[in-house]
């Protein structure tokens, strides 16, 4: 039986960003400091160990891009222009509440934008190495220690080993629950929509009472399983199953994921950096905390890494585990690292005997009809 109504179990996640503003104010009123972030490489454990909260800063709307383009080149990734636009127009409540911003030297555009952002807000940039070897590991560990010092001085706190271990446990618990939730989409037919997966994925950054958030995810898992048992799923066994990979999708979720499901596909896996792959990587609780955090974060398979084989391995594994029929690789305009990596992704997907579609897009709506036509042809073919 098909049920297309948005289950109320997901409402709390869909609203998270909007409501997070009030939740954040409550944290501020309690005297907690706030650290704004832009990237999955930011080691959140250090921020929580400093008794601060981390929040994802606004970067998913084209609303502030015209303002940003007064200072940044037009042919720059929309995510970077949007982030900077929100910072200079004071339109992002999370930016407003942030006492500190932590960025990393990921792609060229971001690291150069941080130089300008530093003129507006206190911005600490971590030097992220782009390879994985002994030297880069030592460098990254050093960067973690520098961030600890920065947080201790800025917030007048002491980050102890015990606090670090508690933060590691907290985020490992979050990742484990998120992974369990994402894994529900392995069922055939999938009992969750791609837009719901996306809402839950994005909400974690706006749920500051982590224990309450964990209970909400547990409930969503239990309710979704129960619905599946009753045969109430939004799809049928024949619905084509799609994996999304590529750049962060926060700014294009309606244009891509929502449209896929409107035209009869089922997005079962969102591989990108805040999706499935991020939540399956835990910090080893049995190691020295700094070593373990450094290791976990340096292993994130983002295209800014030189030799990013981890991404290809995951795509292969997820195609199998989520019984994927086709892969859609989403690149934001002017993101060179993801654009170049589309070639390796195509080979990987086609090597698995599956269909592949690359889409390049930005945050405007002008190409939505054209993208819909391409998605229709792709889903039809599956």
In the complex, the smallest distance separating the C-beta of residue 47 from ligand BJ8, rounded to whole angstroms, is 16
Contact segment (CB under 6 A) with ligand BJ8 among 147-155, 255-263, 283-291, 335-343 equals 335-343
Q: Are the CB atoms for 151 and 118 separated by under 8 Å? A: no
In the complex, the smallest distance separating the C-beta of residue 293 from ligand BJ8, rounded to whole angstroms, is 15
In the complex, the smallest distance separating the C-beta of residue 31 from ligand BJ8, rounded to whole angstroms, is 29
Interacting residue with ligand BJ8 among 53, 65, 107, 298 (CB under 6 A) = 107
Q: Is 57 in the site for ligand BJ8 (CB under 6 A)?
A: no
Instruction: Report which DSSP code applies to 256.
Output: I
Residue 136 has φ and ψ, to the nearest 5°, of: -70, -35
Distance in angstroms (rounded) separating the CA atoms of residues 44 and 172: 11
Contact segment (CB under 6 A) with ligand BJ8 among 72-80, 118-126, 131-139, 166-174 equals 72-80
Residue 206 has φ and ψ, to the nearest 5°, of: -115, 10
Interacting residue with ligand BJ8 among 273, 283, 294, 330 (CB under 6 A) = 273
CB of 151 or CB of 300, closer to ligand BJ8: 300
CB of 292 or CB of 305, closer to ligand BJ8: 305
Q: Is 109 in the site for ligand BJ8 (CB under 6 A)?
A: yes
Give the x/- contact pattern for ligand BJ8 in 191-230, rule: CB under 6 A: ----------------------------------------
Residues 244-263 that bind ligand BJ8 (CB under 6 A): 247-248
Interacting residue with ligand BJ8 among 335, 345, 357, 358 (CB under 6 A) = 335
Instruction: Judge if the upstream peptide bond of residue 10 is cis by omega within 30 degrees of 0.
Output: no
Residue 209 has φ and ψ, to the nearest 5°, of: -90, 95
Distance in angstroms (rounded) separating the CA atoms of residues 183 and 177: 10
Count of residues that bind ligand BJ8 according to CB under 6 A:
20
Q: Closest Cα partner for 268 from 317, 321, 202?
A: 321
In the complex, the smallest distance separating the C-beta of residue 382 from ligand BJ8, rounded to whole angstroms, is 26
Q: Is 114 in the site for ligand BJ8 (CB under 6 A)?
A: no
CB of 124 or CB of 186, closer to ligand BJ8: 124
Distance in angstroms (rounded) separating the CA atoms of residues 81 and 300: 24
Distance in angstroms (rounded) separating the CA atoms of residues 316 and 26: 43
Instruction: Report which DSSP code applies to 32.
Output: -
Residue 336, token pair as written in the block: 């060179």
Interacting residue with ligand BJ8 among 332, 345, 359, 371 (CB under 6 A) = 332
Residue 6 has φ and ψ, to the nearest 5°, of: -70, 115
Cβ-based neighbours of 36, under 8 Å, separated by 6 or more: 54, 55, 56, 57, 94, 95, 98, 100, 101, 102, 121
Q: Is 80 in the site for ligand BJ8 (CB under 6 A)?
A: yes
Q: Closest Cα partner for 269 from 279, 259, 281?
A: 279
Q: Is 342 in the site for ligand BJ8 (CB under 6 A)?
A: no
In the complex, the smallest distance separating the C-beta of residue 272 from ligand BJ8, rounded to whole angstroms, is 7
Binding positions for ligand BJ8, rule: CB under 6 A: 39-41, 77, 79-80, 106-107, 109-110, 247-248, 273, 300, 302, 304, 332, 335, 337-338
């Amino acid at each position: 039986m098909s049920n297309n109504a948005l289950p109320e179990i997901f409402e709390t996640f869909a609203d998270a960003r909007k409501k997070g503003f009030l939740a954040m104010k409550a944290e501020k009123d309690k005297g907690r400091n706030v650290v704004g972030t832009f990237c999955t490489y930011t080691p959140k454990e250090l921020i929580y160990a400093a008794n601060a909260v981390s929040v994802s800063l606004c970067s998913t709307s084209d609303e502030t891009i015209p303002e940003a383009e007064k200072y940044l080149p037009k042919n720059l990734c929309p995510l970077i222009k949007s982030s900077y636009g929100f910072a200079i127009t004071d339109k992002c409540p999370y930016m407003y509440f942030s006492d500190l911003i932590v960025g990393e030297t990921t792609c060229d555009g971001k690291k150069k934008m941080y130089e300008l952002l530093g003129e507006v807000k206190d911005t600490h940039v971590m030097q992220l190495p782009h390879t994985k070897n002994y030297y880069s590991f030592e460098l990254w560990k050093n960067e973690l220690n520098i961030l600890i010092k920065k947080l201790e001085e800025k917030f007048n706190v002491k980050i102890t080993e015990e606090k670090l271990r508690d933060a590691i446990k907290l985020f490992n618990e979050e990742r484990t629950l998120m992974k369990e939730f994402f894994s529900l989409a392995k069922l055939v037919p999938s009992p969750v929509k791609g837009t719901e997966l996306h809402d839950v994925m994005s909400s974690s950054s706006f749920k500051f009472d982590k224990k309450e958030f964990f209970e909400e995810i547990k409930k969503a898992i239990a309710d979704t399983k129960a619905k599946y048992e009753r045969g109430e799923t939004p799809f049928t066994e024949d619905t084509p199953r799609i994996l999304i990979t590529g750049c962060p999708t926060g700014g294009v979720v309606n244009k891509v994921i929502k449209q896929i499901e409107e035209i009869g596909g089922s997005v079962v896996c969102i591989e990108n950096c805040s999706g499935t792959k991020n939540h399956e990587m835990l910090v080893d609780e049995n190691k020295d905390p700094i070593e373990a955090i450094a290791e976990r974060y340096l292993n994130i398979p983002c295209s800014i890494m030189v030799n990013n084989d981890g991404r290809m391995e995951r795509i292969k594994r997820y195609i199998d585990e989520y019984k994927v029929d086709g892969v859609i690789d989403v690149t934001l305009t002017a993101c060179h690292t993801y654009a170049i990596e589309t070639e390796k992704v195509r080979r990987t997907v086609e090597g698995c005997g599956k269909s592949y579609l690359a889409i390049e897009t930005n945050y405007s709506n002008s190409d939505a009809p054209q993208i819909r036509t391409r998605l229709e042809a792709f889903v039809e073919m599956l």
